[in-house]
Amino acid sequence: MGNIERRDRVTASAPRRVAALMYHSVADDSTPAMRELTVSPERFDEQVGALRAAGAQFVRASEVLGLLRGEPIDDAAPIVAITIDDAFADVLDAAAILARHDATATVFVPTAYVGMRAAWLEGEDARRPIAGWSDLAGLRDAGIELAAHGHWHIAADLNAPAVVEEDARRCRGELEDHLGIEVRSFAYPFGFHDRAGRRAIAAVGFSTAYAIFHVRARTTDDPFALPRLHVGPGTSAAALAAAVTTPRARLIEHALRGKDRLFGAGRRVRRLGPASSQRIAPLALEEYGSALFAGGRDETRA
93-109 confidence digits (pLDDT tens) = 999 999 999 999 999 99
Residue 301 pLDDT: 37
* Pairing state between β 17-23 and 217-218: antiparallel
In this predicted model, what pLDDT tens digit does every residue of 141-160 receive, in sequence order? 999 999 999 999 999 988 99
pTM of the model as a whole = 0.85
pLDDT at 58: 96
Q: Find, among 276, 302, 241, the residue nearest to 92 by Cα.
A: 302
Q: Give Dmax over CA atoms of the chain in angstroms.
A: 74
What is the Cα Rg of the chain in Å? Answer: 19
The pLDDT > 90 percentage for the chain reads 65
Q: What is the CATH number of domain 14-292?
A: 3.20.20.370
Helices (H), 59-105: 64-68, 91-100
Backbone phi, then psi, for 233, in 5-degree steps?
-65, -20
What pLDDT was estimated at residue 275?
60
Closest residue by Cα to residue 156 from 206, 219, 106, 115 = 206
Say what the pLDDT of residue 72 is. 73
Beta bridge partners of 210: 187, 226
Mean pLDDT, the chain, as a whole number?
85
- Rounded distance between C-alpha atoms, residue 171 and residue 139, angstroms: 18
Could you state, in chain order, the average pLDDT of each consecutive group of 10 residues for the chain (302 residues)?
A: 36 70 96 94 98 95 93 80 98 98 98 95 93 98 98 92 95 98 97 92 98 86 94 94 74 50 57 62 66 53 36
Phi and psi of 120, rounded to 5°?
A: -75, -20
- For residue 272, the model assigns a pLDDT of 53
Structural domain boundaries in the chain: 14-292
Nearest-angstrom CA–CA distance, 175 and 274: 27
